[in-house]
Structure 1
Amino acid sequence: MDGPTILLTNDDGIEAAGLRAVYDGLTAVGEVVAVAPATDQSAVGRALSHEVDVAGHELGYAVEGTPADCVVAGLESLVPEADLVVAGCNRGANLGAYVLGRSGTVSAAVEATFFDVPAIATSMYIPVREDTDFTSIDDRELRYDEAVRATAYLARHADAAGVFEQCDYLNVNAPVADWGPAPLEVTRPSLEYEMTADRNGDAVTLHDRIWERMADGSIPDPEGTDRRAVVDGAVSVSPLTAPHTTEHHEALDELADGYEPTA
C-alpha cells in the first residue's frame, strides 16, 4: 500500500493492548510490522543484549529482548526498509526530562535516531495517586483513542511537513480517552523533579511524588511543559533530539590545556 513502512515496538510486550491499538490505527497510514518484546520490558532504558531469540507473530515478530534490541534487530535485519519507528502506546505517561532516559518506550525512539530513522514514542497518562506498578494494570480495560489518533496523525504528516528536519523524534503523551477529545499541544519536557528516598532499616524506598500531585491537578510545572499539557487535558508532543550532544566549552578547554599526564 502507499505510505511509509512503520516498525512498531513498545516496552509493555507484544501482547499489550496499547500496542494492538496503535497497530490497528497505523494500518490506515502505511504498512505496519511489529517488532516488540515477547515479555514486559518496562523502564529498562536503552539496555541492549548480545543475542536475542526471535519468533514470528501475527503482528510481526516477538523478540526475547529489550525495546532497544527490537529496534536494532528490526532496522538492521527484520524490517530494514522501515521509514518510521513508532514505540507504544505505553500504559502510563513518560513525562519530564528525568523520565526520558529510564523509559523503554522513549529509548526505542532514541535508538532509531542513530539509524537516521525518525521516530515517535507514544504513551498514555493513567491517573494514579501513588507510585504504581503499571504492569499490574489490566490495559484491556483502557481506551487508547486519543493516543492512537494523535500518533496516526503525526505518522501521516510529520515527515512531509519537515518536522524531522528539526528534531530526531517526538515524545507524545495523551490523556486518558475518557476525558474527551484532546487538542495537540507542542511542549518541552518539564524540569520539575520530585523523587524522594526514605530509609527503613536495610531498605530504601524510592518514591516519585509527582504522581500524587498530577492526580490532584496541583503540579508545579509551568505552561508549555509536557506534564502541564497532559494534566490540562491536551495531547503533549515534544520535539526532541538524541542525547549526548556536545557543545564548545571554554572552561573545559582550559582544564584540558592545563592537564599534565604522567608516566
Structure 2
Amino acid sequence: MDEPHVLLTNDDGIDSVGFRALYDALSEFTEVTAVAPNGDKSAVGRAMSREVQVETHELGYAIHGTPADCTVVGLEALCPDVDMVIAGCNRGANLGAYVLGRSGTVSAAVEAAFFDVPAIAVSLYVPGGDGEWQHAADRTEDYRNATEATAYLVDHALGAGVFDQAEYLNVNAPIWSEGDDLAPLEITEPSTLYDMRAERQGERISLTDNVWARMRDGDLPDPEGTDRRAIVEGRVSVSPLTAPHSSQHHEALDALAEAYQD
C-alpha cells in the first residue's frame, strides 16, 4: 500500500516522552496526525466527554479530553481518512485481562475498533517499585523496543491480513538499554492473574495491585504464552484482541426468562 496515514494518540499526554518517541519513529515512513490529550489522562478507561476543546499543537492537535475522546474526535472530525489508530507509547505496561478496561491507552484502540479502523495499543514495561518507574524511561531511546516493534507491525500487519481476525493489538515492550539487542516478538494472550488487595485503616482503605510486586520478585504463575510471562522474560508481547463483549447461548437464563411471569 501507499504511505499509510496514522492517527496517533495516547493517555500520558501529547508532550510525553513515549508519545514523541513513537511519533518520530512512525513519521519516518507514515503520515502521522497527532490527536492526543493535552495532559496526563492515565487510567481513565473508555471515559467519554460530551464536549472537548481542541488546540493546535506542533505535532497535530491537543484535546482537552480522554483518549477515547481523541479517537472519536480524530476519526469523526479531524482526520477521518486514516488507515490505522496507534495509541502510545505509554510509560508503564498494560498487561493482563483485568487491565484492558482500565487503561486509557488500550481504550483508545478499542474505540477505534468500533469504527472498524485497525488499531494498536503500545506500552512500555518499566520495572521498579514505590513510584520508581515514574521517574524512569525519560529518554526517547528507552522506548526503542516499543517503537521498532510498532513500526514493524504498522508496516506489515495490514498487508499480512492480521486485522482480518484481530480488531486491535495490545503491544507491551521491555525498556531498551544501550548495547541491548532488540527484544524478539511473541504472540500472546492476556494473563488471567488477578491480585488486587484492599486494606482498611480506620476511615481509609488502601487498594494495592500486588501483581507488580510479584513481577518484580519473579513470583509469577503465568504460563508460557501469556503477555506478562513474555514481558518479564524480556520479549515484546503482542496480543491480538477483539473489541465487542462476547455473548453465548445460556440455557439457565432462558429458563429463568420463561419462568419470569409464571
* TM-score in terms of structure 1 length: 0.94
Letter in 2 for 1:52: V
Is 1:127 the counterpart of 2:127? The answer is yes
| Structure 1 residue matching 2:86: 3-state secondary structure | strand
Letter in 2 for 1:233: G
Over aligned residues, Cα RMSD in angstroms? 1.6
Output the CA distance in 2 between the equivalents of 1:117 and 1:68: 14
Shift of 1:243: 3.6
Question: Equivalent residue of 2:47, what SS?
Answer: coil
- Letter aligned with residue 195 of structure 1: M
Q: CA deviation at 1:138?
A: 5.7
**Match in the other structure for 1:166:** 165
Measure the CA separation in 2 of the matches of 1:243 and 1:193. 22
- The answer to which of 244-253 and 50-59 deviates more is 244-253
Report the equivalent of 1:235: 236
Whether the aligned pair in 1 keeps the contact of 2:38 and 2:65 (CA below 8 Å) is yes
Give 1:155's aligned residue. Answer: 154
Question: CA, structure 1 residues 226+138, in 2 after alignment: closer, same or farther (shift >3 Å)?
Answer: closer
| Separation of aligned partners in 2, 1:257 and 1:175 | 52
Aligned to 2:25: 25
Give the deviation of 1:129 after TM superposition.
2.8
- Contact 2:7 2:34 (C-alpha < 8 Å) held by counterparts: yes
**Matched AA of 1:2:** D
> What is the count of residue pairs matched by the alignment?
259
The alpha-carbon distance between structure 1 residues 76 and 133, as it changes in their structure 2 partners (threshold 3 A), is farther
Secondary structure of 2:256's counterpart equals helix
3-state DSSP of counterpart to 1:252: helix
Could you tell me whether the CA contact under 8 Å between 1:194 and 1:210 is conserved in 2? yes
- Check conservation: 1:118, 1:164, Cα contact below 8 A: yes
Q: Which stretch shows the higher mean deviation, 242-251 or 99-108?
A: 242-251
* Partner SS for 2:115: coil
Query: What's the CA shift for 1:257?
Result: 1.6
Q: Kindly provide the amino acid, as one letter, of the partner of residue 191 in structure 2.
A: S
TM normalised by structure 2 equals: 0.95
Aligned mates of 1:158, 1:192 — CA distance in 2: 29
Contiguous gaps of at least 5 residues in structure 2: none
The alignment status of 1:117 with 2:146, answered yes or no, reads no
* C-alpha displacement of 1:75: 0.1
Gaps of 5+ in 1: none
Greater Cα shift, 216-225 or 188-197? 216-225
Comparing 244-253 with 118-127, greater Cα deviation is found at: 244-253
**Following TM superposition, by how much is the alpha carbon of 1:140 offset from its aligned partner in structure 2, in angstroms?**
2.4
Relative distance call for 1:103 and 1:127 in structure 2 (3 A) is: same
**Partner residue, 2:75:** 75
1:168 and 1:248 map into 2 onto residues whose CA distance is 23
Residues 46 and 67 in structure 1, CA contact (< 8 A), matched pair in contact too: yes
In the aligned structure 2, how far is the partner of 1:92 from the partner of 1:218?
19
The SS at the match of 1:246 is: coil
Structure 2 CA distance, aligned partners of 1:56 and 1:110? 25
| Partners of 1:62 and 1:133 in 2: CA distance | 28
1:187 to partner: Cα distance: 0.2
Runs of 4 or more consecutive aligned structure 1 residues displaced over 6 Å after TM superposition = none
Q: Which amino acid aligns with 1:66?
A: T
